[in-house]
C-alpha cells in the first residue's frame, strides 16, 4: 500500500541521544545512533522504498521525562521541539511533529504544548511515560490531581497525546532482577505503559475531559487482550467499584484511545485488536529507528484484512486524528 502514514517514528538531539544507548547491544550502537541523528536522507529512502508518505516524528525516550529539574526539562523540550520544527519545515509533505513536554511541571508542560501547537504547527504531543521530578525516585503519573490543568489544556488545543513507554525505575523493577532481557520492548515497556493507561482510565480523567484522545503503541501494550478482565474480574461479587471512574474501562478504551501497530507485527494480535477497537482506532507505525521500516510495511501490506480497513489503518485514520490534509 502506498501513502502510509506512521506516527511512532523517532529522532534524537545531542542532549538525548545516549538515552537510547541501553536499549540495544553495543555492537549495533553505531547503526542505531546514525538512524536517530540522520537528518532526513536515510529516513526518506526507507519511506520511499516501502510506500510511506509521511512520518510524524517524536523525541527518543526517556529524554525529557528523566530530567528531574523542571526548568532544565523545559529547556530540553524546547530545544528538541525547535529542532523538530526545522526538520518539518524542510519537508512538511513528508514529516510532521509531536511535541516533547516537561511533564515535571504541569504549567510548563501546558505552556510548551500551546507553543508547539500554535507557533510551531505540531499536530500532537508524545510523552515518554512517567516523569521524574524533585524527588527522582518518585515517579509522577499523569492521573495525579496536579495534572488536571494540563489535561484541560490538552483538550482545549484538541490534539492527541501519545503515551510512549519507558522502563520502570530501578527500585520498581525488582521483578526483572537477573532477567535483563525482559526490560525494554520485550516486556517491561508494555507492562509499565498499560498500567499507566489504566490509571488514567480509572481516575475519572475521561469523565472530566471526554474529548481527550490518547494513543498507545505496540498494538495497545497488551490492553486489547486484557481489558475485558480488568472490567470483569470476580464478577460474582456485588461490591461497589473501587475506582473513581464512572464507566467501564472498555468504554474509555473504545472512545478515548487509539493504538498503533508499532513494533508488533503479529497477525493474531492485530485481528484481536480489530475485534476490540474496530478499524477506526488502529494506526500504522514502524517504530523507526528501533524497528525496521521494511518489517512493518511488508507485513502490513499483505496482512489478510479488507482493503477498506487497510486504507483506514494505513492512512485515513491518521489524517482524521491529526487533522492532516485529506486526499
Which band of pLDDT confidence, cut at 50, 70 and 90, is reported for residue 12?
very high
Q: With a cut of 80, say whether residue 39 has pLDDT above it.
A: no
Which band of pLDDT confidence, cut at 50, 70 and 90, is reported for residue 140?
very high
Judge contact between 248 and 227, C-beta under 8 A. no
Planar angle of CA 294, 300, 224, nearest 5 degrees: 120
Q: What is the residue-averaged pLDDT of the chain? A: 96
Q: With a cut of 80, say whether residue 130 has pLDDT above it.
A: yes
Q: Which three cell numbers stand for residue 16?
A: 538525548
pLDDT at 45: 96
Greater model confidence, 238 or 277: 277
**DSSP-based three-state secondary structure for 282:** strand
pLDDT at 327: 80
Helix 188-202 × helix 223-232 angle, to 10°: 40
Planar angle of CA 289, 292, 293, nearest 5 degrees: 100
Query: Helix, strand, coil % (nearest 5) of the chain?
Result: 50, 15, 35
Which band of pLDDT confidence, cut at 50, 70 and 90, is reported for residue 282?
very high
Q: With a cut of 90, say whether residue 26 has pLDDT above it.
A: no
* Cβ within 8 Å of residue 309, ≥6 positions away: 274, 279
* Cβ within 8 Å of residue 221, ≥6 positions away: 165, 189, 190, 191, 193, 194, 197, 259
Closest by CA to 296, choosing from 259, 258, 265, is: 265
Which band of pLDDT confidence, cut at 50, 70 and 90, is reported for residue 22?
confident
Condensed to tens digits (0 to 9), the pLDDT of residues 247-270 reads 999 999 999 999 999 999 999 999
* Cβ within 8 Å of residue 146, ≥6 positions away: 106
Condensed to tens digits (0 to 9), the pLDDT of residues 53-62 reads 999 999 999 9
Spell out the CATH class of 4-321.
alpha beta
Domain ranges in the chain? 4-321
Helix (H) or strand (E) holding 309: helix 307-311
Q: With a cut of 80, say whether residue 157 has pLDDT above it.
A: yes
Q: With a cut of 90, say whether residue 235 has pLDDT above it.
A: no
Taken in order 1, 300, 189, 288, the sign of the CA dihedral is negative
Mean pLDDT value across residues 141-168: 98
Which band of pLDDT confidence, cut at 50, 70 and 90, is reported for residue 239?
confident
Phi, psi for residue 131 in degrees, rounded to 5: -110, 155
pTM of the entire predicted model: 0.97
Q: Which residues of 226-253 are buried (b: 16+ CB within 10 A; e: fewer)?
A: ebeebeeeeeeeeeeeeeebeebbbebb
pLDDT at 241: 84
Which member of 143, 287, 301, 304 is catalytic? 287
Which band of pLDDT confidence, cut at 50, 70 and 90, is reported for residue 326?
confident
Q: With a cut of 80, say whether residue 23 has pLDDT above it.
A: no
Beta-sheet pairing, 139-140 with 131-132: antiparallel
Mean pLDDT value across residues 154-169: 98
Q: Annotated catalytic, 304?
A: no
Which band of pLDDT confidence, cut at 50, 70 and 90, is reported for residue 115?
very high
Which band of pLDDT confidence, cut at 50, 70 and 90, is reported for residue 27?
confident
pLDDT at 237: 86
Q: With a cut of 90, say whether residue 321 has pLDDT above it.
A: yes
pLDDT at 60: 97
Q: Which residues of 157-181 are buried (b: 16+ CB within 10 A; e: fewer)?
A: eebbbbbbbbbbeeeeeeebeeeee
Mean pLDDT value across residues 179-205: 97
Amino acid at each position: 500500500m502506498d501513502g502510509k502514514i506512521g506516527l511512532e517514528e523517532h529522532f534524537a538531539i545531542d542532549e538525548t541521544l545516549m538515552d537510547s544507548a541501553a536499549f540495544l547491544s553495543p555492537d549495533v550502537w553505531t547503526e542505531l545512533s546514525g538512524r536517530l541523528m540522520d537528518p532526513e536522507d536515510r529516513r526518506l529512502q526507507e519511506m520511499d522504498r516501502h510506500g510511506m508518505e509521511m512520518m510524524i516524528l517524536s523525541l527518543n525516550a526517556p529524554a525529557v521525562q528523566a530530567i528531574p529539574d523542571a526548568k532544565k526539562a523545559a529547556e530540553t523540550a524546547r530545544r528538541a521541539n525547535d529542532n523538530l520544527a526545522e526538520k518539518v519545515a524542510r519537508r512538511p509533505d513528508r514529516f510532521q511533529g509531536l511535541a516533547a513536554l516537561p511533564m515535571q511541571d504541569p504549567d510548563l508542560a501546558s505552556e510548551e504544548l500551546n507553543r508547539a501547537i500554535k507557533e510551531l504547527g505540531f499536530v500532537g504531543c508524545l510523552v515518554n511515560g512517567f516523569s521524574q521530578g524533585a524527588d527522582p525516585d518518585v515517579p509522577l503519573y499523569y492521573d495525579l490531581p496536579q495534572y488536571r490543568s494540563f489535561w484541560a489544556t490538552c483538550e482545549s488545543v484538541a490534539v492527541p497525546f501519545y503515551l510512549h513507554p519507558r522502563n520502570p525505575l530501578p527500585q520498581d523493577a525488582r521483578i526483572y532482577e537477573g532477567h535483563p532481557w525482559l526490560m525494554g520492548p520485550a516486556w517491561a515497556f508494555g507492562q509499565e505503559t498499560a498500567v499507566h493507561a489504566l490509571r488514567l482510565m480509572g481516575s475519572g480523567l475521561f469523565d472530566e475531559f471526554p474529548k481527550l484522545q490518547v494513543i498507545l503503541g505496540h498494538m495497545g501494550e497488551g490492553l486489547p487482550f486484557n481489558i475485558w478482565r480488568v472490567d470483569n474480574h470476580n464478577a460474582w461479587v456485588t461490591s461497589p467499584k473501587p475506582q473513581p471512574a464512572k464507566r467501564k474501562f472498555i468504554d474509555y478504551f473504545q472512545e478515548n484511545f487509539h493504538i498503533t501497530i508499532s513494533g508488533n507485527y503479529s497477525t493474531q494480535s492485530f485481528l484481536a485488536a480489530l475485534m476490540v477497537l474496530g478499524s477506526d482506532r488502529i494506526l500504522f507505525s514502524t517504530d523507526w529507528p528501533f524497528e525496521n521500516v521494511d518489517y512493518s510495511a511488508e507485513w502490513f501490506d499483505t496482512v489478510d484484512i479488507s482493503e477498506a480497513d487497510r486504507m483506514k489503518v494505513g492512512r485515513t485514520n491518521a489524517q482524521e486524528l491529526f487533522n492532516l490534509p485529506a486526499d
